[in-house]
Amino acid sequence: MQRDCKEENKERRRRRRERERGRREKQRERKQREMKERSGERMSERERERERENERIEKGEKERENKGEDIRERE
């Protein structure tokens, strides 16, 4: 019983670390993009479309986190 709880807690912490790592990477990429835009470099249409898609994905992830849901926990 306790072992099961310990394992579940370990798994939750591991998933949380992975989410936080992903969030930090996205923030770093966003900052790099902003710096690139400020420096006057123009993004191609393909890059802009990719950015829009990434923003939609990020928004969906934030909404799931706000609801307290995690797709991986359901499995």
Q: What is the pLDDT of residue 41?
A: 61
Q: What is the pLDDT of residue 12?
A: 95
Q: Are 73 and 15 in contact (CB under 8 A)?
A: yes
Delimit the domains of the chain by residue range: 2-69
Mean pLDDT by 10 residues, the chain (75 residues): 87 95 94 80 74 86 70 52
Q: How far from the centroid of its chain's Cα atoms is residue 36's Cα? A: 21
Non-local CB neighbours of 65 within 8 Å, separated by 6+ positions? 19
Write the burial class of residue 61 (CB in 10 Å: 0-12 exposed, 13-18 middle, 19+ buried).
middle
Q: What is the pLDDT of residue 65?
A: 73
CA distance 58 to 71: 14
